[in-house]
């Protein structure tokens, strides 16, 4: 079942991957490096805020044994998302009276709402093993995103076209997923009570206490190059990095997400039934490590490939990605096992590791910025990140092979 599930996600994901990659040569000529840098900053802020909006309760949807309990978590998370989006909107309006900001940033509450909601519905469908639905929404989202981005860039020369395209894709995909959820909810209607929602909120309180700041720091640190490089280098450098990262990370994220969804489901089921978690961890660790070895040969000629496909103005983007190759490989492998600390109630330790990870990334950029070298900044970021990720994987392996001293009701450690 696991191989079939992964293939189902990848089959739709292959289309979802092909669309942005095929459109990238067009987008690289329709938008400037600065446009990509501005879009990356917007996306980074929206993604970071989205991790706070859910309280990370969406990650708990996979854990309960009873579907009715999981459904109460879904409604709990949906309420938090709506409240957080409203708060975000009020805060932006208040800030706008004191500081000037581009008008596009007033759409952040909508982006936060859509990104958070889609993540929640994706988790719910993962629990129900509706992999075809998950695959379909990815295709719809990237197809709308790509079509709008090309139209706004080529026909209207709109510099914020990439941001508008992102919002458009998430809007259509969210409507699709909500219609599926509504149909399933009507067919299997279960009574929802506020008291049961509160019970689930308390039971999985470790998620907002530890997992939420962990996810926020992770999302924020992923945006550190976009946020910190402008302190030392021109905006075009940020755009080159953002474009290169978008091209390389797209297939890795697709594969990691497809495998990660299935692995998370397997880990949760094995843990709940008393099965062997370590064997699952070891099996996928080996497979993903071997798979990641396909990346270095491709990026070895990154500068030449980017120059040929996207134009000579983007050659440096390929050079930047070559420097980040070791980090991208290890990050691809480790992202699949994000569920493990939650299963063993080790969110507190995972949070500490994430803080160290973020500090290492920031330090690398500041060191390179101090010496005025982008390659040095990315080199220190990549090397330091590799050390942290290897330590993290070793910790996960020890945890997966250890006796289960904790349960979902125990305090996180």
Residue spans of the domains in the chain: they are 1-204, 230-413
Between vectors from CA 352 to CA 357 and to CA 225, what angle results, nearest 5°? 25
Tell me the pLDDT band of 1, cut-offs 50, 70 and 90.
Answer: very low
In the predicted model, is pLDDT for residue 128 greater than 90?
Answer: no
pLDDT at 330: 95
In the predicted model, is pLDDT for residue 5 greater than 80?
Answer: no
Average pLDDT, the chain: 89
What mean pLDDT do residues 363-371 have?
Answer: 97
What mean pLDDT do residues 136-155 have?
Answer: 93
pLDDT at 14: 65
pLDDT at 150: 96
Nearest to 56 by CA among 265, 270, 223, 201: 201
What mean pLDDT do residues 68-82 have?
Answer: 96
In the predicted model, is pLDDT for residue 342 greater than 60?
Answer: yes
Structure-block tokens of residue 148 = 């709008």
Distances in Å between the Cα of 323 and the Cα atoms of 36, 209, 318, 376, 385 are 20, 35, 9, 9, 12
Only one residue has tokens 């900001």, namely: 101
pTM attached to this predicted model:
0.86
Only one residue has tokens 């308390």, namely: 202
Tell me the pLDDT band of 6, cut-offs 50, 70 and 90.
Answer: low
Q: Which residues contact 149 (CB under 8 A, 6 or more apart)?
A: 23, 27, 30, 161, 162, 165
228-261: pLDDT as tens digits? 999 999 989 999 999 999 898 877 877 787 788 8
In the predicted model, is pLDDT for residue 408 greater than 60?
Answer: no
């Amino acid at each position: 079942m696991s191989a079939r599930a992964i293939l189902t996600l990848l089959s739709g994901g292959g289309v979802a991957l092909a669309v942005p990659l095929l459109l990238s040569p067009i987008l690289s000529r329709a938008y400037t490096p600065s446009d990509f840098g501005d879009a990356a900053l917007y996306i980074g802020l929206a993604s970071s805020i989205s991790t706070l909006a859910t309280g990370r309760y969406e990650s708990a949807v996979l854990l309960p044994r009873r579907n009715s309990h999981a459904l109460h978590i879904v409604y709990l998370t949906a309420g938090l998302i709506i409240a957080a989006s409203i708060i975000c909107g009020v805060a932006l309006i208040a800030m706008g009276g004191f500081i000037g900001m581009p008008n596009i940033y007033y759409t952040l509450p909508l982006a936060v709402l859509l990104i958070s909601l889609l993540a929640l519905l994706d988790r719910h469908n993962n629990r129900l093993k509706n992999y075809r639905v998950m695959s379909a929404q990815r295709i719809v989202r990237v197809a709308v995103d790509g079509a709008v981005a090309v139209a706004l860039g080529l026909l209207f020369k709109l510099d914020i076209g990439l941001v508008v395209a992102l919002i458009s894709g998430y809007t259509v995909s969210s409507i699709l997923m909500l219609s599926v959820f509504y149909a399933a909810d009507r067919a299997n209607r279960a009574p929802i009570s506020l008291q049961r929602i509160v019970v689930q909120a308390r039971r999985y309180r470790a998620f907002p206490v530890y997992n939420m700041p962990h996810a926020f720091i992770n999302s924020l640190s992923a945006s550190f190059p976009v946020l910190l490089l402008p302190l030392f280098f021109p905006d075009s450098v940020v755009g080159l990095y953002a474009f290169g990262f978008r091209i390389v990370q797209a297939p890795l994220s697709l594969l990691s997400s497809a495998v990660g969804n299935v692995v998370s489901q397997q880990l949760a089921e094995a843990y709940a039934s008393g099965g062997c978690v370590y064997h699952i961890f070891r099996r996928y660790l080996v497979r993903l490590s071997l798979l990641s070895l396909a990346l270095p040969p491709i990026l070895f000629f990154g500068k030449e490939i980017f120059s040929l496909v996207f134009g000579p103005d983007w050659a440096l983007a390929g050079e930047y990605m070559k420097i980040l190759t070791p980090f991208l490989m290890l990050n691809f492998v480790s992202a699949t096992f994000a569920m493990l600390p939650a299963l063993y109630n080790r969110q507190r330790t995972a949070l500490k590791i994430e803080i160290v990870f973020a500090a290492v990334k920031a330090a690398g950029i500041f060191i390179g910025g101090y010496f005025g070298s982008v390659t040095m900044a990315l080199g220190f970021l990549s090397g330091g990140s590799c050390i942290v990720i290897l330590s993290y994987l070793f910790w996960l392996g020890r945890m997966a092979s250890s006796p289960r001293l904790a349960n979902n009701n125990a305090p996180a450690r």
